[in-house]
Amino acid sequence: MIMSFSTPVLVAAIDFGTTYSGYAFSFRHEFDKDPLKINACNWIAGSQALVSLKTPSVVLLKPNKTFHAFGYEAENKYASLAEDNEHEGWLYFKRFKMTLHQNKSLRRTTSIKDVNGNEMPAMTIFTMAIKYLKDHLMGTLKSRVAEFTEDLILWVLTVPAIWDEGAKQFMTEAAADVRIFYIAGILTKQLLLALEPEAASIYCNHVPVEVMSYNKGRTGAYAFEPGTQYMVLDLGGGTADITVHEVQSNQKLREVHHATGGAWGGTKVDDAFYQFLAKLFGNDVLSTLKDENMDDYITLFRDFETKKRTIKPNLEDKVTITLPFRLLEIFKEQSEETLAEALPQTRYAKTVEFKAGKLRVHPEIFKEFFNHTLQGIIQHITEIMQSFQGESVSKILLVGGFSESPMVLKAIRELFPNKKVIAPADPGLAVLKGAVLFGHTPSIISSRISLCTIGLEVNVQFIEGLHPNKYKIKKPDGQTMCQHIFEALVQKGEDVPFGHKIENTYSPSEEDAVTGIGIYKSTSENPTYTTDKNCTKLGTIVLRRPNGGWSEDAQIHVVVEFGSTRFSVAMTDDCLDETYRDSYDFLRKQNQ
What pLDDT score does 6 carry? Answer: 62
- Based on the fold, state whether residues 169 and 137 are members of the same structural domain: yes
pTM of this prediction? 0.86
Residue 26 pLDDT exceeds 60: yes
Alpha-carbon radius of gyration of the chain: 26
Lowest mean pLDDT among 292-296, 369-373, 576-580: 576-580
Most confident stretch, 90-94, 103-107, 254-258: 90-94
- Say if residue 347's pLDDT is above 50: yes
For residues 243 and 386, membership in a common domain is answered with yes
For the segment 390-408, the average pLDDT, to the nearest whole number, is 88
Regarding whether 225 and 187 lie in a shared domain, the answer is: no
Residue 1's pLDDT is 38
Same domain, 293 and 320: yes
What pLDDT does residue 121 have?
92
Compare 584 and 233 and report the one with higher pLDDT: 233
Phi-psi region at 589: left, alpha or beta (left = phi > 0; alpha = psi -120 to 50)? beta
Mean pLDDT of 200-219: 63
pLDDT at residue 581, as a whole number: 75
Q: Report if residue 550 sits inside a domain.
A: yes
What's the average model confidence in pLDDT over 99-124?
87
Note the pLDDT tens digit of each residue in 549-576: 777 778 888 888 887 887 788 888 777 6
Burial 310-344 (b: 16+ CB within 10 A, else e): ebebeeeebbebebbeebbebbeeeeeeebeebbe
438 domain-assigned: no
Question: Are 189 and 115 part of one and the same domain?
Answer: yes
The per-residue pLDDT of the chain, averaged, comes to 86
- Residue 551 maps to a domain: yes
Higher model confidence: residue 74 or residue 7? 74
Instruction: State percent of the chain over pLDDT 90.
Output: 49
How does pLDDT run across 519-536, given as a tens digit for each residue? 899 999 999 999 999 999
- For residues 214 and 190, membership in a common domain is answered with no
Q: Which residue has the higher pLDDT, 178 or 285?
A: 285
Does 173 share its domain with 295? no
pLDDT score for 2: 38
Mean pLDDT value across residues 87-115: 88
Going by pLDDT thresholds of 50, 70 and 90, the confidence category of residue 592 is: very low
Are 517 and 506 in contact, with CB atoms under 8 Å apart? Answer: yes
Side chain identity at 550, as an amino acid letter? W
pLDDT of residue 98: 87
Quick one: 399 and 462 in the same domain?
no
pLDDT at 183: 54
pLDDT in tens, 274-309: 999 999 999 999 999 988 888 899 889 888 888 888
Would residue 444 count as lying in a domain? Answer: no
Q: Is 579 exposed, middle or buried (0-12, 13-18, 19+ CB in 10 A)?
A: exposed
The amino acid present at 123, given as its one-letter code, is: M
Residue 47's pLDDT band, with cuts at 50, 70 and 90, is low
- Assess whether 188 and 221 both reside in one domain: no
Lowest mean pLDDT among 145-149, 322-326, 339-343, 403-407: 145-149
- Beta strands 20-27 and 39-40, pairing class: antiparallel
pLDDT band at 590 (very low <50, low <70, confident <90, very high): very low
Of 530, 519, 521, the C-alpha closest to 484 is 530
Provide the residue range defining the domain that includes 226: 210-261+380-430
Residue 280: predicted pLDDT? 94
For residue 497, the domain's CATH number is 2.60.34.10
Give residue 208's pLDDT: 66
Same domain, 128 and 232: no
Task: Check residue 350 and give its pLDDT.
Answer: 92
3-state secondary structure of 212: coil
Looking at the structure, tell me whether residues 392 and 516 fall in a common domain: no
Question: CA-to-CA distance for 28 and 25, rounded, in angstroms?
Answer: 10
Q: Please enumerate in sequence order all residues whose Cβ is within 8 A of that of 180, keeping only pairs 6 or more positions apart, or say none.
A: 121, 123, 124, 127
The stretch 348-369 carries a mean pLDDT of 93
- At residue 310, the pLDDT reads 81
Q: Which of 164, 198, 232 is the last residue before a domain boundary?
A: 198
Residue 70 confidence (pLDDT) above 90: yes
222 falls within a domain: yes
Q: Rounded CA gap, 58 and 44, in Å?
A: 15
Q: If pLDDT is split at 50, 70 and 90, which confidence band does 584 have?
A: confident
pLDDT at 215 over 80: no
Which CATH number do you get for residue 44?
3.30.420.40
Verify that 183 and 319 share a domain, yes or no.
Answer: no
Res 477: pLDDT: 78
Band of pLDDT at residue 157, cut at 50, 70 and 90: very high
Whole-number pLDDT of residue 372: 93
Distance of alpha carbon 496 from alpha carbon 255, whole angstroms: 9
Is the confidence at residue 321, as pLDDT, over 90? Answer: yes
Residue 133: per-residue pLDDT: 94
Say if 247 falls within a structural domain: yes
Reduce the DSSP state of residue 559 to 3 states and report it. strand
Q: How many domains does the chain have?
A: 4
**Assigned domain for 373 exists:** no
In a domain, 362, yes or no: yes
pLDDT of 31 above 90: yes
